[in-house]
Amino acid sequence: MELTISIKEWKIKTKEDKSKTIAGEYAVMCGPNEVANSSFNDGYNSTDIQIPADLLTEAETLDKKIQAAVLKNFTG
């Protein structure tokens, strides 16, 4: 069977230098079975993944929209 990579979760994370990146966890799958998993862009012992600048821009825009939706929930 062929191995595939599946993203289990992702988040927008602020790094120590105050820049943002996308971090999360991925799994290596063999059919329906998970054979390994690891985190990416999330500190020590995680896999470094280069995220394209245009994708980071989209993520930051989405982050602002989510923050606005949460604020609106509390302020009406």
Joined together, the tokens standing for residue 49 give: 């993944």
Q: Which residue type is seen at 51?
A: I
pLDDT of residue 43: 86
Q: What percent of the chain has pLDDT over 70?
A: 100
Kindly give, in sequence order, each residue whose CB lies less than 8 Å from that of residue 16, ignoring residues fewer than 6 positions away: none
pTM here is: 0.79
Domain ranges of the chain: 3-75
For residues 6-18, give the mean pLDDT: 92
Per-residue exposure over 36-66, b if at least 16 CB sit within 10 Å of its own CB, e if not: eeebbbbeeeeeeeeeeeeeeeebeeeeeee
